[in-house]
Amino acid sequence: MYMTFRWYGESDPVKLWQIRQIPGVRGIVSAIYDVPVGEEWPHGKIEELKATVEAAGLELSVIESVPVHEDIKLGLPTRDLYIDNYAKTLRNLAQAGIRIVCYNFMPVFDWTRSQLDYELEDGSNALIYEEEVVQRMNPLSGELQLPGWDSSYRKEDLRRLFDHYAEVDAEKLWDNLGYFVRKIMPVAEEVGVRMAIHPDDPPWPIFGLPRIITDGEALDRFLRLYDSPANGLCLCSGSLGADPGNDMAALARRFGAEGRINFVHARNVKHTGEKSFQESAHLSSAGSIDMAEFIRALRDVDFDGPCRPDHGRMIWGETGKPGYGLYDRALGAVYLNGLWEAYTKERAAAASGVLE
């Protein structure tokens, strides 16, 4: 496993030189944010991003994300055009040496929270999800605020999308995902790119929209859509772990042993209700997920891909993009690297007979 860090480009308050100083972090997870969803990413823009990252002494390890156009998720006749553009983007990324691409298949909304600045007991601020609050929200009112999403759609466009999705249930969404996967994975195989689907966050339906990448059974069904190392997972402990029924260490061992984990998001959450949670520090004791056991499971299956500390709290008075401050994610990166080093040395000692 090697440590990476999410960076949102030149407008990100967190700077590359700061990330470079986090012990053990060698890779950057980023994307191109000024190309409309569904259009081909120009090779020149990709090379420019890569050059900027490398000039800071880091490597561009993962693209997160190349968004999937809603027409693909809806199964509209226009989807083939957007899938063709997606394939061209993969070819351009591969030409620039990018080998891992993360994406999701969540209808309309990406990760969703009910509050962005909830104050925890220690005075830090975190993202939270309260099911009762979300149930009262009207996504068509124009009042819903989600970082990076709330400026994506005009009100009339959002209403049109909801009208289209009235005809799409979970099985239809599976059909549309299968169509996309079977079209795009041969291209990924050809150019040497490994795809990593991100689980739904939270892993249950919201606003009447289906969500299907939610648990171990769903992950297994997804992988069977196209049996290839190119068709893999972004195993996100915070997204899947929001459901207490998902054992993250068991999922890591199961799918890691099959070689189908292409990327890891390490994040902790504290369950506060059946479908409610608060994001917490990465430390195992801070949340409901045993992060130490999750990382041990990845070590046990010899996971050798990128990992990034996912959303963090806003601590020490830091402001900026909620969940993406520097300080708490930096602490998370060091903590995760420490766990990995300890398990690696423990394993080496056992193999040499020092430990019995």
* Catalytic positions, written as ranges: 198, 236, 265, 310-311, 324
CA nearest to 211, candidates 177, 245, 186, 184 = 177
Can you read off the two tokens belonging to residue 14? 């967190």
CA nearest to 262, candidates 114, 102, 131 = 102
DSSP 67: P
Helix ranges restricted to H, the chain? 16-20, 43-55, 70-74, 79-95, 131-136, 155-165, 170-191, 216-223, 237-241, 248-257, 291-300, 327-352
Q: What region, left, alpha or beta, does residue 302 occupy, with left being phi > 0 and alpha being psi -120 to 50 degrees? A: left
Write out the DSSP string of 103-136. E---SS-SS--SEEEEEPTTS-EEEEE-HHHHHH
Residues 6+ apart with CB under 8 A from 156: none
Residue 128 to residue 116: CA distance in whole angstroms: 7
Q: What angle do CA 284, 109, 113 make, to 5 degrees?
A: 40
Residues 6+ apart with CB under 8 A from 166: none
Q: What angle do CA 142, 146, 152 make, to 5 degrees?
A: 65
CA nearest to 232, candidates 190, 186, 263, 189 = 263
Residue 284 to residue 181: CA distance in whole angstroms: 35
Other residues' Cβ atoms within 10 Å of the Cβ of residue 95: 12
